[in-house]
Amino acid sequence: MQQNKPEMKITRTEKSTLSHVDFDNLTFGKTFTDHMLICTYKNGAWQEPEIKPYQKVEMPLSLHALHYGQAAFEGMKAYKQIDGNVALFRPEENWKRLNRSAVRLLMPEVPKEVFIDGLVELIKLDQNWVPSKPDMSLYIRPFIFSSSDFIAARPSEEYTFAIICSPVSAYYSGAVKVKVEREFSRSAHGGIGFTKAAGNYGGAFYPTEKAKQQGFTQILWTDPKNHEFIEESGTMNVMFIIDNTMVTPALSDRILAGITRASILSLGKEMGMEIQERSVSVSEIEEAAKNGSLKEAFGMGTAAVVSMISHIGFDTDNVVEIPVPEKGIGAQIKKRLNAIRTGESPDVNGWMLKIN
């Protein structure tokens, strides 16, 4: 849906909370910047977006999204660059993916002018919140939800799009232990696994909690039919380095098309690695882990970036340790990605959008 550039109402905070933030002790997603963006859709059209001080919003208990879960989100980041600039990483990809989620969940697509222009204005206002220390960034959460106030089980008529921002440090403090999930499923063929629907995450909490009780950090999701093929890891896509090849499950309608995943595949090609996007069976990975051809494994996502996998639990009593080489492929790729984000390496792919 194309619309002319909307007017944007901007109200600046009179009382910044920035000086109260302890940037050395951030808990992921608990601290929010001074401003937020909010834009409503009603009578078949997006209204004027508004940037205003971060605040609570009053909602009725009949709010449609609370009952039927028409809701989706994005995760993206802004980085402080070495020249002092602030830059967003591949924001158009997040805009496109939010709209793919919106279409599948029968929500209106968010115009580029609202998402990208609004985001740039918001980050300009809150640019002093973008941390500059290694492994730190400003996590940005754009989201859309159904906001009609009725509880009839039919699509909402009103929707709300909003963006909130949170300075963050590393998502995981070290390598993760993952459990091959053989009971629960994250998604089904024909379902909404490829979207960032809120419910995909809510539905994962119970199985993940069970895995945690067994000593794991995250789940290695498998196909819903026979639990034979690997799909994703927790909230991340997953990569295996088998001998000298980067192997990752091919995308399908059950798997989220990660922007970090796509970027890492590009960087792997630039490094001269062989890349395979294909079906990856649990038994192949178990064999490779046991015969030593699995050199490393890692998760890839916006929040976690590259998160090394130190153990894979094929069963509770069959947990195999995976090497986590200090200068392995995962570590090299993370370094390359960070160097592009901070401006230390040239942005040859045009991934960074500078906001100043």
**Which is nearer to ligand COI, 41 or 298 (by Cβ)?**
298
- Tokens 């808990």 correspond to 27
CB 233 within 8 A of CB 221: yes
Strand partners, 24: none
- Which residue, 71 or 288, is less far from ligand COI as judged by CB? 71
Identify the residue among 31, 156, 302, 342 touching ligand COI (CB under 6 A): 302
Q: With binding defined as CB under 6 A, does residue 119 bind ligand COI?
A: no
337 interacts with ligand COI by CB under 6 A: no
170 touches 232 (CB < 8 A): no
Angle formed at CA 30 by CA 24 and CA 332, multiple of 5 degrees = 55
330 lines the binding site for ligand COI (CB under 6 A): no
69 near ligand COI, rule: CB under 6 A: no
Beta bridge partners of 139: 77, 166
Residue 202 CB, nearest approach to ligand COI (Å): 11
Burial 252-291 (b: 16+ CB within 10 A, else e): eebbbbbbbbebbbebbeeeebeeeeeebebebbbebbee
Q: Point out which span in 31-39, 243-251, 301-309, 311-319 binds ligand COI (CB under 6 A).
A: 301-309
Among 303, 309, 333, 337, binds ligand COI (CB under 6 A): 303
Name residues contacting ligand COI, limited to 158-177 (CB under 6 A): none
Gap between the Cα atoms of 124 and 116, Å rounded: 12
| DSSP SS3 for 246 | strand
Q: For tokens 């200090």, name the residue.
A: 326
**Counting beta carbons within 10 angstroms of the beta carbon of residue 331, is it exposed (0 to 12), middle (13 to 18) or buried (19 or more)?**
middle
Which residue is closest to ligand COI by CB?
75
Closer of 295 and 334 to ligand COI (Cβ): 334
Which of 41-49, 180-188, 206-214, 295-303 is the region at the interface with ligand COI (rule: CB under 6 A)? 295-303
Phi, psi of 177, deg, nearest 5: -105, 120
Select the span of 43-51, 222-230, 300-308, 340-348 touching ligand COI (CB under 6 A).
300-308
Closest distance between ligand COI and the C-beta of residue 45, in Å?
29
Q: Does 235 bind ligand COI (CB under 6 A)?
A: yes
- Does 201 participate in binding ligand COI (rule CB under 6 A)? yes
> What's phi and psi for 22, nearest 5 deg?
-95, 95
Q: In terms of CB distance, is 75 or 167 closer to ligand COI?
A: 75
* Contact pick of 49, 69, 75, 249 for ligand COI (by CB under 6 A): 75
Q: Which residues bind ligand COI (CB under 6 A)?
A: 75, 201, 235, 301-303
